[in-house]
Structure 1
Amino acid sequence: MWGKRTGHEKEGRRITVQYEGGEGRIEVINPWVIHVFAPLHTQEPESRAVEQPNPAFEACDYRVSEREGQLEISTEKLTVRVYDHFYVDIYDAAGTPLCLDYRGGRDPFLRRGNVSIAEGEGHEAMRTSGHHKIEVLKAMEGEEKFYGLGDKTGPLNKRGYEYEMWNTDDPSPHVESHKALYKSIPFFITLKERAAYGLFFDNPFKTFFDLGKENSAYYYFGADDGNLDYYFIHGPSVKDVVTRYTALTGRTPLPQLWTLGAHQSRWSYAPESRVLEVAEKFREHDLPLDAIHLDIDYMDGYRVFTWDNERFPDPAALAARLRDMGIKLVTIIDPGVKKDKGYSIYDEGLEKGYYATDKDGVTYVNTVWPGDSVYPDFSDEPVRKWWADNQKIMLDAGVAGIWNDMNEPASFTGPLPDNVRFKNDGRPTDHREIHNVYGHLMSQSTFDGLLEATGKRPFVITRAAYAGTQKYSTVWTGDNQSFWEHLRMSIPQLMNLGLSGFAFSGCDVGGFSHDCTPELLVRWVQVGAFSPLFRNHTAIGTRDQEPWAYDDETLDAYRQAMKLRYRLLPYLYDLMREAEKTGLAPLRPLVLEYPQDPKVREIDDQFLFGSRLLVAPVVEQGKRHRSVYLPEGVWFDDRTGERLEGGRAVLAEAPLDVCPIYVRAGTLLPAYPDRRYVGERKVDELLLYAYPGNGEYTHFEDDGESYAYRDGGYNEFRFAQEEKDGGLVLSLEKVHAGYTEGYSSIRVAVHGVVASSVILDGQSIEFETEDGNTSFNLSASGGEVRLNV
């Protein structure tokens, strides 16, 4: 549509390229990030993901020069060449091609036969996707691997798959052919032999991604409306891409520590006696727990911000009783407001014009849990403020967190019609443009309301999301099933969510629909114990899914996994602190840390927990062993203590109560003593496990709930170890002291070393040796320790 280039203008970080049929723009965000834009819908970019001011926007030098047949834009790291028809090719600083536009047209693989015959029998026939208003085709060299796109189904590597970004409430069993689920995160990473880069297509309309399924010569992304608006994000490593993408769209903020504990949920725990029964059973069976979630049945006729006075006569008293047991209350809030004159939320919103309307300006009504319902227009700032203020209703009742659901937005009749109208902060638009960001804006409003009311770090969980929602909310993968296939699928889903910027994510442990078998529940909790959001949740009508509802073997194995999670909480908290600073998620694919190892690029049934622990869960029924690939380096089998050379596969024994875990040599791993909930008692003594080798680690400690750490109210420790002169030298130093309620001592346990003496700052100290390990205590102020063997 653009035709020949006719000129260009440079202004600030933007280069506008004129064409016969319009204009395109190249914006230099920083030396590694380039913004490609054409005003096909609005004159300027309007992003719900890329907010201003933005740390990714850096002042940098760049050069613009006219060459024969091209306009060349060069930064310190990239060269961008712009041609006729707004073709854009991107090279690294050495001139190596990274991302080139495909010059041919779409050419789908041939499909043969009369598919209507198959459809007549009930089969869903494969068809080539139609053309779209916006289409960007990129050339493939052949070795590309693709990651990201949120929690889409299928394997870790998305090559050969196609997806749609259209937030969809689909409770049918999710399989690889699902093109759309609850979230729209139009960002993916391309890994090539020599480099990695990301592409973020910031278009909230329905968008389409084909990663070589249609034709292996190209991949493409497109949209039915909106602007041509995408960001190229150079690595060269996968880590660099994630870090730069999250600088652009925002990073997961450090959550309250209790939110990293165990959550228990069901549709539904009601009445309040059932809630208390569940809480008491957790304590009776010595199972750690920090939160119980209440699904829709706690409400009065499903009216949001209300309570059923018969089932829950005194919510504040219930919340107080649970708090005394160390358990927080989290309640679901859907966007659908019951159409009910006399119901204060409905009346106020109607009076102030806060709901989406039909094309004639009449409040739009559809059917959800309350029956006839209306939809708050979260695209309008006054509505977001009103909804945020309403969160105080729940907080005053003792609720500690809010769970947003059905916010695709969903209805019992399917997606809202395209012509439903929204105010869109002063530029009215229709549902096509708001649909994918509706849940994002609801999460933003909820986050703001909790922050304003409490001053603490908000806990919000959402089902629907868009790129950037990670700034406001944790997410889960939606209505999965109690199938082994869904356990297997959850691992690449969570890894790709992490690569897409969502560091705080999880899935329904045990599965939401169907009945979970004892063995499946155990294997699922062994994955859930390493998921940042750790929640057991199941549907109405399914069998009880609490661990005591099964046999003693199941209960014991479940308890073991939960207690491991709680011991590792300081490590997970450190990883969430890292996520806030770098965008890197705790649960990681091996390819993130070892991108040059071709053997890890397709591994999606094992993962890294941070960079130091490798977790290889059993995800097949009846299996009591599995093959585990260990990347380069030295690893310790956490169960047997065996020291193993990496770069190869090993066979791991995995009885029902064992999830194979391997620890990288040189690891220093912080841990807590057993506790039933976060804050049960002050942690005076940090446990520090040392796995011999060369390595260092930074540990963070604060009050676990406030923002005081941003003003220096935290302690930071730097731990290091080095194998030296036949012994092991440990350095433990408090490098920042801003939190007075911190540890008084540290107990160090050195794995696989039987010391003959332990020297602290030149003086011998007492130590213990047991089972081939050496343990000793020292003050939290630290020091240098030498273990002589």
Structure 2
Amino acid sequence: MFGQIQDYQKKKNKVIINYEQHSGEVEFISPSIVNFFAPISNQRRFSRAVEEIKGDNNISFEVTEDVGIILKTEQLKVVIHDQFKVDIYDKDDEIISKDYRGERKPFIRRGKGDIIAEEGHQIIKGNIKNRIEVLKEMTGEEYFYGLGEQTGPLNKKGYRYQMWNTDDPSPHVESFESLYKSIPFVIILKDGLAYGLFFDNTYRSYFDLGKESSQYLYYGVDNGNLNYYFIYGPSIKEVVEKYTYLTGRTPLPQLWTLGYHQSRYSYDSENRVREVADKLREKDIPCDAIYLDIDYMDGYRVFTWDQEKFPNFEKLISDLKKQGFKVVTIVDPGIKKDNGYLVYDEGLSNGYFARDKDGIPYVNRVWPGESLYPDFSSEEVRKWWADKQNTLLETGVAGIWNDMNEPASFDGPLPVDLQFENEGHQTDHQEIHNVYGHLMARASAEGIKKYSGKRPFVITRAAYAGTQKYSTVWTGDNQSFWEHLRMSLSMLMNLGLSGMAFCGVDLGGFSFDCSGELLARWVQAGAFTPLFRNHSAAYTRDQEPWCFDLETERIYRNYVKLRYRLIPYLYDLFWQEQKTGLPIIRPLVLHYQDDENTYELNDQFLVGENILVAPIVQQGQLARAVYLPSGRWVDYWTKEIIEGGRYILRKTPLDTCPIFIKEGSLIPNYKVEDDLDSEKQELILDLYPGDLNYVHYQDDGESFNYQKGEYNLYQFEVTCSQGLTISINKIHQKYKSYKKFTFMINNYQAEEVLVDGQPHFFQNDGNRVLLVVASDVKEIKIEQ
């Protein structure tokens, strides 16, 4: 495609290489992030994911010629060859990544596929030749992570996927190559070192991670330009940090969004919504949000509500608010073709809808019947859509749920030649498809921010790399299967590694019928996922926890309450994520990269660095093996101290999910209340002794005042030599403080407690010390 090198020029952070057929560009974003670009389809360099990079515009690197063009920074050596082949070495000249030089060698498929297709078997198409192809050499020692929510295990080696946002409600299994999101970012771990490849091209693309051949990783794309980033770690943590530096990080959410959310397709009347809300309070199940699916609308017209089913829409939302509930309403992109319907009339008169190749507004069919699709690739349309959010916000709606935005359609897929404005550079559906939901979520978030003045809460089904800047995501229409519970864990871990820190699944499963046992096990895992929402489909059994049996209800209540105790810990993780890009739910390999036992743990995860969760994902399982990495761990339920670096066996009766706390951890807790609206007067500090330094974050939980410095940072430093000493330092104090701290010091007994040098009351409660102090104390000394 490129031919031989002719010459090159160095321009600031970039080297432009002229080949016989094309030119190629190599640009250093940082000493460890390199962008490779070639204008195959056009000269325009444009990204929907990498919107703004505030980096060093003068990165020092050397350029020499030998066998190829050699570029050296303080961390990398990049060697560019003929045909734009690239080899990358570390500073010690050890190879990190090497382009594959041979031809593709897919395995042979024998027989006639069309014959078995007649019986209904899925036929896997042959390997397609793509306009742009990148092959990276594999040695057999690689592990692959990322690529968003794709099916299959945590390690994607031996699988292949397509980046093409797809609404397919049939049961998601490992043969699925496309789901709702396209995040063309993969992390490769080899010989203990990690790097990332981000292929920033929105056209349909293909990843083969050693399936067709064990000799190479394959990336291919239908159209557009060659545009990818090499991101060197060497730790996975550093790769994620640098990738989110490029594509953006999840902003600090409102506190209530971390609570429990109750949803169904559909709570279809005011009376039903009130019934569910009253039942949640009656059953003592904390909850902060109730969702309204499409049946709240007038004939599925977005930005309307049914006056018969919801005759007092604003009063309903107001009454729910008094009970501590926020309302989140679904908004789909399909606009009903209906003269006299304001949204349709405005969109049509202003030319806001996607058009066919003849310039006629395109019509397909979704929930409202014949519908048109807003062209979110236009800034003007996004502003219009942002303004439309206020129709719901002014009624008291607190969040917007974007669904069907792949975009979904009932009368066949949208034509590939459908026309979009694309910020003044007209293009077709092939380029916009994968970012359609991304751009819709962006418009929704901008509208909420503009009209509410609060941190936006948007939840989207379809997404692209960088959507995390605007929206939380969920994994779409899963099923009430044990297999989907199991698979959801690796989906969420890989979404987190792909930048989507605020993610979740439909707890209990969307389709099919959940059992009490499955719901009990699912809530045990769901209590730790960033988005904590129970959602189920029409014509399935009721999935609210009281609809099963008393044991299921009890277990469900207990784990929802556990979630509410842990809210300040989760909020701290979101505050940290803004700085590091590290997700909330994490595979163990993220923190234990030197331990090969963590590389393929599909059914365990970390919450932050301090909590390890090992859910039960099989029916009837009453015991399981749990791998504890090196160090000492404390069983959350029994407080037993366990030496790590090994597997242990744990009994798991239905009400027990194995949870372990890393020794030397401080886990901030709140007192459990019905919702998260009330001002928090007390911070409970669950301490697992060991030397540690923990910083806790506090603000008003909803506004942007924290960006003006209105927040608190409390530093807790614990040392365990000569007794136990807790030093408390308010390193930033610009918000109303807690009134008191309650310490629960596990596996410890006290003889005397001094607070700021004075004897203080304490209580030995079993194998822990309970201690309440004012929030202005500076030092606590505990003698055994």
Q: 1:316 aligns with which of 311, 314, 317?
A: 314
- CA deviations 1:516-536 (Å, max 9, x no partner) are 000000100111100100000
The SS at the match of 1:244 is: helix
Cα distance, 1:355 vs structure 2: 0.3
Structure 1 stretches of 4+ with a deviation exceeding 6 A read none
Please tell me the residue identity of whatever aligns with 2:660: Y
Cα distance, 1:744 vs structure 2: 1.3
Cα distance, 1:89 vs structure 2: 0.9
In structure 2, C-alpha distance between the alignment counterparts of 1:371 and 1:119, rounded to whole Å: 32
In structure 2, C-alpha distance between the alignment counterparts of 1:486 and 1:413, rounded to whole Å: 28
Cα distance, 1:766 vs structure 2: 1.1
- CA deviations 1:469-515 (Å, max 9, x no partner) are 00000000000000000000000000000000000000000000000
| Greater Cα shift, 497-506 or 411-420 | 411-420
Please tell me the residue identity of whatever aligns with 2:398: A
In structure 1, what is the equivalent of residue 734 of structure 2? 738
In structure 2, C-alpha distance between the alignment counterparts of 1:122 and 1:515, rounded to whole Å: 25
Per the normalisation by structure 1, the TM-score is 0.98
CA contact (8 A) 2:12 2:58 kept: no
In structure 1, what is the equivalent of residue 450 of structure 2? 452
In structure 2, what is the equivalent of residue 466 of structure 1? 464
In structure 2, C-alpha distance between the alignment counterparts of 1:209 and 1:15, rounded to whole Å: 28
| Greater Cα shift, 768-777 or 106-115 | 106-115
Assess, with a 3 A threshold, how the Cα gap between structure 1 residues 657 and 55 changes in structure 2: closer, same or farther: farther
In structure 1, C-alpha distance between the alignment counterparts of 2:154 and 2:56, rounded to whole Å: 30
CA contact (8 A) 2:12 2:57 kept: no
Cα distance, 1:194 vs structure 2: 3.5
Please tell me the residue identity of whatever aligns with 1:288: P
Cα distance, 1:123 vs structure 2: 1.9
Tell me, yes or no, if structure 1 residue 97 matches structure 2 residue 92. Answer: no
Please tell me the residue identity of whatever aligns with 1:400: A
Assess, with a 3 A threshold, how the Cα gap between structure 1 residues 57 and 187 changes in structure 2: closer, same or farther: farther
Q: 1:168 aligns with which of 139, 153, 166?
A: 166
Cα distance, 1:57 vs structure 2: 5.4
In structure 1, C-alpha distance between the alignment counterparts of 2:25 and 2:187, rounded to whole Å: 23
Tell me, yes or no, if structure 1 residue 26 matches structure 2 residue 22. Answer: no
Q: What does 1:272-291 correspond to in 2, within 5 Å?
A: 272-291=270-289
- CA deviations 1:602-659 (Å, max 9, x no partner) are 0010100110000011111011211100000000001111000000011112211111
In structure 1, what is the equivalent of residue 64 of structure 2? 65
Per the normalisation by structure 2, the TM-score is 0.99
- CA deviations 1:297-345 (Å, max 9, x no partner) are 0000000100110001121111000000000000000000000011010
CA contact (8 A) 1:128 1:214 kept: no
Please tell me the residue identity of whatever aligns with 2:724: L
Please tell me the residue identity of whatever aligns with 1:65: T
CA contact (8 A) 2:157 2:210 kept: yes
CA contact (8 A) 2:402 2:441 kept: yes
In structure 2, what is the equivalent of residue 538 of structure 1? 536
In structure 1, what is the equivalent of residue 682 of structure 2? 685
In structure 2, C-alpha distance between the alignment counterparts of 1:356 and 1:116, rounded to whole Å: 36
CA contact (8 A) 1:349 1:355 kept: yes
Q: What does 1:434-445 correspond to in 2, within 5 Å?
A: 434-445=432-443
In structure 2, what is the equivalent of residue 40 of structure 1? 40
In structure 1, C-alpha distance between the alignment counterparts of 2:56 and 2:287, rounded to whole Å: 42
In structure 1, what is the equivalent of residue 498 of structure 2? 500
Assess, with a 3 A threshold, how the Cα gap between structure 1 residues 58 and 613 changes in structure 2: closer, same or farther: farther
- CA deviations 1:527-554 (Å, max 9, x no partner) are 1100100000000000100001111000
The SS at the match of 1:266 is: coil
CA contact (8 A) 1:299 1:306 kept: yes
RMSD (Å), alpha carbons: 1.0
Please tell me the residue identity of whatever aligns with 1:106: R
Q: 2:724 aligns with which of 715, 723, 728?
A: 728
Assess, with a 3 A threshold, how the Cα gap between structure 1 residues 546 and 156 changes in structure 2: closer, same or farther: same
In structure 1, what is the equivalent of residue 249 of structure 2? 251
In structure 1, C-alpha distance between the alignment counterparts of 2:238 and 2:212, rounded to whole Å: 29
CA contact (8 A) 1:56 1:244 kept: no
Tell me, yes or no, if structure 1 residue 699 matches structure 2 residue 711. Answer: no
- CA deviations 1:697-736 (Å, max 9, x no partner) are 11000000011111110000111212203x2222222111
Q: What does 1:405-554 correspond to in 2, within 5 Å?
A: 405-554=403-552
CA contact (8 A) 1:197 1:233 kept: yes
Cα distance, 1:109 vs structure 2: 1.6
- CA deviations 1:124-174 (Å, max 9, x no partner) are 234432110011000012110000000000000000000000000000000
- CA deviations 1:572-615 (Å, max 9, x no partner) are 00011111111111100001010110001000101001100000
Please tell me the residue identity of whatever aligns with 2:751: S
In structure 2, what is the equivalent of residue 14 of structure 1? 14
CA contact (8 A) 1:576 1:586 kept: yes
In structure 2, what is the equivalent of residue 770 of structure 1? 765
In structure 2, C-alpha distance between the alignment counterparts of 1:732 and 1:622, rounded to whole Å: 46
In structure 1, C-alpha distance between the alignment counterparts of 2:248 and 2:47, rounded to whole Å: 13
| Greater Cα shift, 454-463 or 105-114 | 105-114
CA contact (8 A) 2:22 2:40 kept: no
Please tell me the residue identity of whatever aligns with 2:11: E
In structure 1, C-alpha distance between the alignment counterparts of 2:488 and 2:412, rounded to whole Å: 25
In structure 2, C-alpha distance between the alignment counterparts of 1:556 and 1:119, rounded to whole Å: 48
The SS at the match of 1:157 is: coil
In structure 1, what is the equivalent of residue 595 of structure 2? 597
The SS at the match of 2:263 is: strand
In structure 2, C-alpha distance between the alignment counterparts of 1:115 and 1:302, rounded to whole Å: 42
Q: 2:658 aligns with which of 649, 657, 660?
A: 660
Please tell me the residue identity of whatever aligns with 2:755: L
Identity of aligned residues (%): 56
In structure 2, C-alpha distance between the alignment counterparts of 1:633 and 1:58, rounded to whole Å: 42
The SS at the match of 2:243 is: helix
| Greater Cα shift, 463-472 or 193-202 | 193-202
Please tell me the residue identity of whatever aligns with 1:783: K
In structure 2, C-alpha distance between the alignment counterparts of 1:211 and 1:431, rounded to whole Å: 27
Cα distance, 1:42 vs structure 2: 2.2
The SS at the match of 1:180 is: coil
The SS at the match of 1:146 is: strand
Assess, with a 3 A threshold, how the Cα gap between structure 1 residues 452 and 7 changes in structure 2: closer, same or farther: same
CA contact (8 A) 1:638 1:661 kept: yes
CA contact (8 A) 1:72 1:82 kept: yes
CA contact (8 A) 2:185 2:199 kept: yes
Please tell me the residue identity of whatever aligns with 1:746: F
Assess, with a 3 A threshold, how the Cα gap between structure 1 residues 126 and 524 changes in structure 2: closer, same or farther: same
In structure 2, what is the equivalent of residue 749 of structure 1? 744
Cα distance, 1:64 vs structure 2: 1.2
In structure 1, C-alpha distance between the alignment counterparts of 2:672 and 2:119, rounded to whole Å: 58
Please tell me the residue identity of whatever aligns with 1:66: E
Please tell me the residue identity of whatever aligns with 2:735: Y
Tell me, yes or no, if structure 1 residue 271 matches structure 2 residue 269. Answer: yes
Please tell me the residue identity of whatever aligns with 1:775: L
For structure 1, the 5+ residue unaligned runs are none
Tell me, yes or no, if structure 1 residue 629 matches structure 2 residue 627. Answer: yes
Cα distance, 1:56 vs structure 2: 4.8
In structure 2, C-alpha distance between the alignment counterparts of 1:124 and 1:418, rounded to whole Å: 24
In structure 2, C-alpha distance between the alignment counterparts of 1:125 and 1:539, rounded to whole Å: 29
The SS at the match of 1:281 is: helix
Q: What does 1:165-314 correspond to in 2, within 5 Å?
A: 165-314=163-312
- CA deviations 1:269-298 (Å, max 9, x no partner) are 011010000000000000000000000000
CA contact (8 A) 2:192 2:593 kept: no
The SS at the match of 1:494 is: helix
Assess, with a 3 A threshold, how the Cα gap between structure 1 residues 564 and 783 changes in structure 2: closer, same or farther: same
Please tell me the residue identity of whatever aligns with 2:596: P
Please tell me the residue identity of whatever aligns with 1:55: K
Assess, with a 3 A threshold, how the Cα gap between structure 1 residues 185 and 382 changes in structure 2: closer, same or farther: same
In structure 1, what is the equivalent of residue 114 of structure 2? 116
CA contact (8 A) 1:734 1:780 kept: no
